Structure 1
Amino acid sequence: MKSQSRGTLEMISAMVISGTVGWFVIMSGQAPEAVVFWRCLFGALAMLVTCLVLGVLRRSLISARQFILVCLGGVALILNWVLLFSAYKHSSIAIATVVYHVQPFMLVGLGVLFFAERLSAAKVGWLLLAFAGLM
């Protein structure tokens, strides 16, 4: 399979999963924390198998600092999902998803404020186009 075809299929699969997660959270009837637990467990098992097959689980590939940052990122992602899935009970999936995806605008703004990143018209245009596509 060509690299581009494989990438296209992987992106389609990822978007189908991402686009239906809200519906599955609601239909499961489970607490957001339970959904996140099972999501993390299945994801961790899949990543463990993949990393073992690819041979990337070697201590020499990650420093202690990187490991701590990965763990902190994981905690942030877990909290992110709990809050998103909890929002589905308080608003529609559509509204919660649109509000959730305002995050890239905040990250770009923080990059401008704290890291002196340049805000180009192209960057703003792509953000707006992506957001319009989401809505």
Structure 2
Amino acid sequence: MSFTSRQQGAITLASGGLLMGTIGIFVEEARLDAMTLVFFRCLFGFLALAAYCAWKGFFRTQQFTRRMVALALLTGVLIVTQWVWFFDAIHRTGIAVATVVFHVQPFWVVLIGAALFKEPLGGDRLGWIATAFAGLVLASGVATAGNLQGHASYLFGVGEALAGSVLYASVTLIAKSLGQLRPHLLTLAQCLVGVVCLPFVAPLTAVHIAPAQWFWLVGMGVLHTGLSYVLIYGALPKLTTPVIAVLLFVYPVTAILVDAVVYGRALSAPQLAGVALIVIASLGVNLGWPLVSMVRRGDPARRPVE
């Protein structure tokens, strides 16, 4: 059975999303602090991506400039910090909540882009963004947490995931100005930043790692930073924006299912409603669905007199 290029891209992107959706298991089962986890993710991810880039000849064909290298290293600082916050958020809130909160990052891209580049937002986009953040309040569980003072660690984890989403949005905007740099090499540079910088921030020499833990650490680097990024980067050029917008939700949906099935942390009905709002709002922004204009067209007071 043969597949078209578009079908191959869809299968590959979905596979990458499924794989990324399982990273929470590796974070939980490794049973190490977030900085140590990110260091080894960067180390093994760097080795995996370096081998792939060398095999594909990317080092020979890529032309580098000082500006390109400087911006790539800057994104490395941002992405490594985001990974640390995200992994710590998983420890504090669970896989599903941390992942869902993090996935409001496309809306930060829109808002930051509008602020920096004077891009017009329009009523429809603002409406979808408001919908997404209403969904965020529900999905995070903050709205139904009751006594918030008794959930300080949980709230801190939600804040970490949300702050991480802002950093990732910033990386996305910077990466747009690095169009000539292969995304594989960009991720490689980001991993290099983690390998070099994290031991200075949190020395790792005293960490005792059991043999069983190495499986999870190597897996985060090779599978979730090497293989998954190769799958996703290889699929995107083959697909249209609507297909990409839909398939990108394979990752958070997988994470929600993993948390429920493996750890018994199923989202409540209000949280699932929040997830639905975020998904719908994201599709609305990415696909240009009308919202405010549609409401106005449906308002009898605004209809012309016949």
Shorter chain as normaliser: what TM range?
0.7 to 0.9
Q: TM-score, structure 1 length as denominator?
A: 0.81
- Which of 123, 129, 132 does residue 279 from structure 2 map onto? 132
Where structure 1 has 5 or more consecutive residues not aligned to the other structure, the ranges are none
TM-score by length of structure 2 reads 0.39
Could you tell me how far 1:59 is from its partner in structure 2?
A: 8.2
Count of aligned pairs between the two proteins? 134
Q: What is the alpha-carbon distance in structure 2 between the residues aligned to residue 71 and residue 25 of structure 1?
A: 25
Q: 1:94: how far off?
A: 1.6
Higher Cα Rg, which structure = 2
1:48 pairs, out of 42, 47, 50, with 50
Confirm whether residue 6 of structure 1 aligns to residue 153 of structure 2: no
Q: CA RMSD in A?
A: 2.8
Identical pairs, percent: 34
Higher mean C-alpha displacement, 21-30 vs 5-14: 5-14
What amino acid maps onto 1:45 in structure 2? L
Q: Which aligned runs of 4 or more in structure 1 are off by greater than 4 angstroms?
A: 122-130
Query: Structure 1 counterpart of 2:279, which letter?
Result: A
3-state DSSP of counterpart to 1:50: helix
Q: Say if 2:236 is the partner of 1:89.
A: no
Q: CA deviation at 1:102?
A: 1.9
Aligned: 1:33 with 2:35: yes
Which structure exhibits the higher relative contact order, with contacts defined as CA atoms closer than 8 Å and separated by 6 or more residues? 2
| Matched residue, 1:118 | 120
Q: Secondary structure at the match of 1:117?
A: coil
Shift of 1:122: 6.8
Question: How far is the alpha carbon of 1:28 from its aligned partner?
Answer: 1.6
Rounded Cα–Cα distance in structure 2 between residues aligned with 1:46 and 1:6: 23
Aligned-pair distance for 1:123?
9.2
CA distance 1:38–1:2, change in 2 (3 Å): farther
Tell me, in whole angstroms, the C-alpha distance in 2 between the residues paired with 1:7 and 1:15. 12
Q: Could you say if the C-alpha distance between residues 34 and 108 of structure 1 is closer, same or farther in structure 2, counting changes exceeding 3 Å? A: same
One-letter code of the match for 1:64? R
Distance in 1 between residues matched to 2:62 and 2:29, nearest whole Å: 43
Distance 1:60 1:108, change over 3 A: closer
Cα distance, 1:60 vs structure 2: 6.1
**Counterpart AA for 1:30:** L
Question: Is the aligned partner of 1:73 residue 2:75?
Answer: yes
Cα distance in 2 for residues equivalent to 1:28 and 1:123:
40
Q: Distance in 2 between matches of 1:19 and 1:60?
A: 31
Q: Report what 1:105 is aligned to.
A: 107
Give, as a single letter, the amino acid of the residue that structure 1 aligns with 2:45.
Answer: G
